[in-house]
Structure 1
Amino acid sequence: MPHDADAKSSKEHAWPLFRSLASYSLPGDLMAGLTLAAIAIPEQMATARLGGFEPQIGFFAFMAGSLGFALLGGNRFLSCGADSTITPIFAGGLAALAAVGSPEYQGFAVALALMVGAMMLAGGAFRLGGIANLLSVPVMVGFLAGISAHIIVSQLPGVLGLKSPSGPMLDRIGLLAGELSRSNPFTLCIGLGVLATVFVSEKISAKIPGALIGLVAATLATIALGLESKGVSVVGVVPGTLPRLTVPELAPEHWVHLVSLAFVITVVVMVQTAATTRSFPSDPDKPADVDRDFLGAGAGSVLSGLFGAFPVNASPPRTGIVAETGGQSQLAGLAAAVIVLALLAFGTGLLQHVPDAALGGILLFVALRIVRTKQIVTIYRQSRSEFLLILATAALIIILPIQQGAFLGIVLSLLHGIWSTTRARLVEFERVPGTTIWWPAHPHISGEHIDGVAVIGLQAPLSFLNAPGFRSDVAKVLGTATPQLLVLEASGMVEIDFTAAQILLEIFKACNEQGVTVALARLESVRAQDAFERFRLYDALPRERIFHSVDEAVRKLAKAE
């Protein structure tokens, strides 16, 4: 067995490119690829239309995402392609720069894909997987709820057979509400019928291609009943063009205008890629290689741009399909891409009579699925303050232009993290009766004090955000009843920055002036230990006053006093 493990490890290292193909299963991957294509074809068409692109552009994005991730990615199951989470964001941002559907719009999308791909590649190369944590769970849940609202409002006109209104989100909702009585019953039946088909299929088994079934049924009904003459709009002619090398010709200032939008899209792609690869790990016994998968997703976006498409993203539902249908490697994604390529080359005539309302029904299902209702309920019950984060993020996405709302959502997540850190205050410790354990004081737990001894700690990294408050709390302890020995329990201080180090020096100096002996216990963090060296804290607090436990410090120094 050890020999097999070594052989497997060396085999993996021998595959710098197409790494996941080293463990392919031809029958399993081909079957998974066929199922993936059946799921992806209608979904990629719908997502392309959501972004204001022709259906074949969605196919280009899927092929590029599949090839790029297979080339550099590490996860064996992850499916990469056009994604409804990021499409409304960049579509809103691009619409502010050029008319939807125009050559300029297409050029901006290509440039954006290249920029997002470059940022993802840099994130993977420099191992910046921690960026995926920029969005907290409540903010991400609110973010998805806001995106869902955008998808629903953008697709309802097509499903209702109405002209799509323009303007801010709330204005569009008001205009749609006023036009409901003019809905086309045929498009409404098609859209809701496809939605119901996908929903029922998903309930029975995620392996059933409900979207494809609904799309085929809606197309056949449209042809058989002559619904085009009754106001049902269809996709129309889909050019049987294949991807070709595309390089955007944009002025330098236009590239600059795309930087902020590219950053927002990159953060969202990183978050979703990390979540997907952690949910479907290649090896359950090993941690997911998020940085490697950033490279794969980045390569997918770069290729998508070169193919003339838009940024791509990891898809949790499609990835789950690959894992559940026997896929063993990225060969499944490549097989699906070949099927899509064949459809583009020989079968685009089959797509001519696909109703727009059917694509709208698919996207309505996607919009409803990305709303994490259970998490919203759980957060509401367990943390009302973080539930407010969900509402605030969703409101930002809905009320403001979507790209601005997404950016402010990221800012809100960072502010929430900063606020959580600044809330960390000094904690006093007590000895558990009959033991040598010192534990944070609690009203429901009896603890012991030792005369002349104060044991305090901070259960958070000590930084410029909370160090001033920590200094004030220590001053209160020293001013209330000046102890002879002050023990700082440092197990929670995993990091100490320059500002915090200077404040610690001030605390040590103040204690020395008041005749208080200071000791440090459980400085376990390697980074914190390094900070003591770099900031010369050992000059103010001799190393002989550093202990492995509070009990050891109290036994040695309290007696000495």
Structure 2
Amino acid sequence: MANDHAPRAGWPIFRSLANFQPGNLPGDLIAGLTLAAIAIPEQMATARLGGFSPQIGFFAFMAGSLGFAMFGANRFLSCGADSTITPIFAGGLALMATAGTPDYQSLAMALALLVGAIMVAGSLFKLGWIANLLSTPVTVGFLAGISVHILVSQLSGVLGLASPDGPTLYKLGVLASEFDKANPYTLVIGLGVLALVAGCEKISARIPGALIGLVAATIAVIAGHLEAKGVKVVGTVPGTLPTPSLPDIAPERWVKLSSLAILIAVVVMVQTAATTRSFLSDPDKPADVDRDFLGAGAGSLIAGLFGAFPVNASPPRTGIVSETGGRTQVAGLFAAAIVLALLAFGATLLQHVPDAALGGVLLFVALRIIRARQIAMIFRQSFYEFLLVVATAAAIIVLPIEQGVAVGIALSLLHGIWTTTRGRLVQFVQVRGTTIWWPAGRNVAAEPRPDIAVVGLQAPLSFLNAASFHSDVLKVVSASTPKPKLLVIEASGVVEIDFTAAQALHDLFRECRDDGVTVAIARLESTRAQDAFERFGLYEILPRDHVFHSVYEAVHALGGQA
């Protein structure tokens, strides 16, 4: 969407509050209260997924909410800890430090600062197009693979078993072999919370099923003295408020984090763009994707300064704000204030929350992000792109997760290149009784013109297809009986010509001339392709008066001459 990145006049900060009116306040407060009820258990569970204590998830939510409200544009978008990126960076950080240690947290803070800086740079340099790097099949496969990682990582907590180390499939095998040792209480709690959250979601997304499930599970633990029966709980949650600090890590470790930071930033860009386009502040105006990159980047910078990890836009939470009457980012700020109050005055309420309940919440999140209907649709409509879904998911499941994500991005780029450049040579015929030249086909009544060959390529002409284009054109010329005297290249689909392709065209023009075949170009509409003809000196071998606005003009002007 080209208009996504149009410059906007307005406030330098808190632009999402520019249209705030006192009448918006009741709706924003209700939306903020609902958002807090959804976010509290989700942020705790996401922090646990990344190997952090629950309050770090609260820090991330407050940082993301404040940063986006200050610098973002979308009125509804909720930014905070996110289960999509958490498994990715947790896997990368685990290679450098042990989860739960001060070193691990310092690395997470540094990563958040790097991701934030990349996001801010992406906004300043208008890099919103990066959000289009992942095709839909690759995105669907990516989410399916992440879902499997979350499911497997939480099974041990739900079963009450020790979490095994190793690749995802190995962990799954170990847990399956030890299923008979599962703690029945933790299993009931985990599956019960999963069922409760799913049921509430089915009735209405506004019902805070996760919060209800955590409260019910905590009451059950206390009333039934389940800690003595092997049910693990969150334990003491420090009520200390976050204070700004910089991570204390060596310079070479910043360098090691850079590749992971780029990977995380690309995923955040993709999800932020998808979220802001799905929940437009104004249905009559395009999303300001670049400004929202700035908001999400500011959220990660603040998170890094206050001891947390990278944050991301959340489509489900953003939908909650939109559906419950939110009108501005006051809703997100109010939710952050509620979380801050809980952390300051009610942290002791969280110490008996069972780990299995948080696992149940994450099991629901994992199942929700699998887009089963979309996978089925891709399978029915495009089997080759379904294979992209499978390949991406398999890479993320089998390989270390950050490598799997990199493979997914590479597959998406390769798919885009292949789709863009796979065009084969098309032969045109003159439609009987008209001056129109059209691609040959069963339903096209053609006017016989044996002395003229018209061909075209419906793709950019580049090093990827230049050689085949050159040889295919010569085959058409040599296979025609009698040999055509005029060759017209219909170039409306050629939007770009690179150096390799220009050399192939130069050779083609020369070989046709030496063979007594006149060459003409028709409908060279792309300004980039026109510039390429000038830049690469193609007019030195193809006269300028052999370039026409239509195939008919070329045939009319040169057909008799040839």
Aligned to 2:43: 44
Q: Is the 8 A contact 1:454 1:486 kept in 2?
A: yes
TM-score, normalising length: structure 2 = 0.94
Report the Cα distance in structure 2 between the residues aligned to 1:284 and 1:474, rounded to whole angstroms.
Answer: 48
Aligned to 2:14: 18
Aligned to 2:130: 131
Partner-residue secondary structure (3-state), 2:447: coil
**How far off its partner does 1:422 sit?**
4.3
Do structure 1's residue 526 and structure 2's residue 532 form an aligned pair? no
- Greater mean alpha carbon deviation, residues 264-273 or residues 276-285: 276-285
Partner-residue secondary structure (3-state), 1:343: helix
Report the Cα distance in structure 1 between the residues aligned to 2:98 and 2:362, rounded to whole angstroms.
Answer: 23
Aligned to 1:537: 538
Report the Cα distance in structure 2 between the residues aligned to 1:445 and 1:70, rounded to whole angstroms.
Answer: 58
Q: Is the 8 A contact 1:396 1:408 kept in 2?
A: yes
Question: Cα deviation per residue 1:148-171 (whole Å; 9 max; x = unaligned)?
Answer: 111001101111111111111121
Correspondence list, 1:481-492, <5 A = 481=480, 482-492=483-493
Structure 1 stretches of 4+ with a deviation exceeding 6 A read: none
Correspondence list, 1:339-378, <5 A = 339-378=338-377
Report the Cα distance in structure 2 between the residues aligned to 1:74 and 1:420, rounded to whole angstroms.
Answer: 34
- Greater mean alpha carbon deviation, residues 99-108 or residues 295-304: 295-304
Aligned to 1:4: none
Q: 1:31 to 1:523 in 2, by over 3 A?
A: farther
Report the Cα distance in structure 2 between the residues aligned to 1:129 and 1:514, rounded to whole angstroms.
Answer: 49
Aligned to 2:207: 208
Partner-residue secondary structure (3-state), 1:415: helix
Correspondence list, 1:467-478, <5 A = 467-478=466-477
Partner-residue secondary structure (3-state), 1:386: helix
Aligned to 2:33: 34
Correspondence list, 1:434-453, <5 A = 434-453=433-452
**How far off its partner does 1:343 sit?**
1.2
Q: What percent identity do the matched residue pairs reach?
A: 72
Aligned to 1:237: 236
Report the Cα distance in structure 2 between the residues aligned to 1:169 and 1:437, rounded to whole angstroms.
Answer: 59
Aligned to 2:315: 316
Aligned to 1:509: 510
* Amino acid of the structure 2 residue aligned with 1:436: T
**How far off its partner does 1:115 sit?**
0.9
Question: Cα deviation per residue 1:475-506 (whole Å; 9 max; x = unaligned)?
Answer: 21222223222222222112222222222222
Q: 1:493 to 1:398 in 2, by over 3 A?
A: same
Correspondence list, 1:397-412, <5 A = 397-412=396-411
Report the Cα distance in structure 2 between the residues aligned to 1:59 and 1:112, rounded to whole angstroms.
Answer: 18
Partner-residue secondary structure (3-state), 2:148: helix
**How far off its partner does 1:121 sit?**
1.3
* Amino acid of the structure 2 residue aligned with 1:464: F
**How far off its partner does 1:448 sit?**
3.5
Q: Is the 8 A contact 1:117 1:299 kept in 2?
A: yes
* Amino acid of the structure 1 residue aligned with 2:9: H
Aligned to 1:270: 269
Correspondence list, 1:67-78, <5 A = 67-78=66-77
Q: 1:326 to 1:449 in 2, by over 3 A?
A: farther
**How far off its partner does 1:444 sit?**
4.6
Aligned to 1:550: 551
**How far off its partner does 1:27 sit?**
2.1
* Amino acid of the structure 2 residue aligned with 1:123: G
**What stretches of structure 1 of length at least 5 have no aligned partner?**
1-8
Report the Cα distance in structure 2 between the residues aligned to 1:260 and 1:19, rounded to whole angstroms.
Answer: 32
* Amino acid of the structure 2 residue aligned with 1:377: A
**How far off its partner does 1:324 sit?**
1.1
Report the Cα distance in structure 2 between the residues aligned to 1:531 and 1:26, rounded to whole angstroms.
Answer: 57
* Amino acid of the structure 1 residue aligned with 2:486: L
* Amino acid of the structure 1 residue aligned with 2:391: A
Question: Cα deviation per residue 1:449-468 (whole Å; 9 max; x = unaligned)?
Answer: 42322221111111111111
Do structure 1's residue 145 and structure 2's residue 144 form an aligned pair? yes
Correspondence list, 1:213-228, <5 A = 213-228=212-227
Q: 1:321 to 1:540 in 2, by over 3 A?
A: farther
Aligned to 2:325: 326
Partner-residue secondary structure (3-state), 2:446: coil
TM-score, normalising length: structure 1 = 0.95
Report the Cα distance in structure 1 between the residues aligned to 2:386 and 2:277, rounded to whole angstroms.
Answer: 25
**How far off its partner does 1:310 sit?**
0.6
- Greater mean alpha carbon deviation, residues 496-505 or residues 46-55: 496-505
**How far off its partner does 1:307 sit?**
1.2
Q: Is the 8 A contact 1:23 1:328 kept in 2?
A: no
Q: Is the 8 A contact 1:63 1:340 kept in 2?
A: yes
Report the Cα distance in structure 1 between the residues aligned to 2:50 and 2:134, rounded to whole angstroms.
Answer: 24
Partner-residue secondary structure (3-state), 1:234: coil
- Greater mean alpha carbon deviation, residues 341-350 or residues 420-429: 420-429
Partner-residue secondary structure (3-state), 1:206: coil
**How far off its partner does 1:541 sit?**
3.1
Correspondence list, 1:70-109, <5 A = 70-109=69-108
* Amino acid of the structure 2 residue aligned with 1:538: Y
* Amino acid of the structure 2 residue aligned with 1:13: A
Question: Cα deviation per residue 1:397-452 (whole Å; 9 max; x = unaligned)?
Answer: 11111111111221222222233344221111223333333222223544334232
Report the Cα distance in structure 1 between the residues aligned to 2:448 and 2:264, rounded to whole angstroms.
Answer: 54
Report the Cα distance in structure 2 between the residues aligned to 1:215 and 1:544, rounded to whole angstroms.
Answer: 77
Report the Cα distance in structure 1 between the residues aligned to 2:358 and 2:343, rounded to whole angstroms.
Answer: 18
**How far off its partner does 1:175 sit?**
0.8
Q: Is the 8 A contact 1:58 1:82 kept in 2?
A: yes
Report the Cα distance in structure 1 between the residues aligned to 2:140 and 2:191, rounded to whole angstroms.
Answer: 26
Aligned to 1:168: 167
Partner-residue secondary structure (3-state), 1:13: coil
**How far off its partner does 1:384 sit?**
1.7
Report the Cα distance in structure 1 between the residues aligned to 2:118 and 2:496, rounded to whole angstroms.
Answer: 28
Report the Cα distance in structure 2 between the residues aligned to 1:526 and 1:27, rounded to whole angstroms.
Answer: 53
Report the Cα distance in structure 1 between the residues aligned to 2:432 and 2:131, rounded to whole angstroms.
Answer: 44
Partner-residue secondary structure (3-state), 1:23: coil
Partner-residue secondary structure (3-state), 1:33: helix
* Amino acid of the structure 2 residue aligned with 1:260: S
Aligned to 2:384: 385
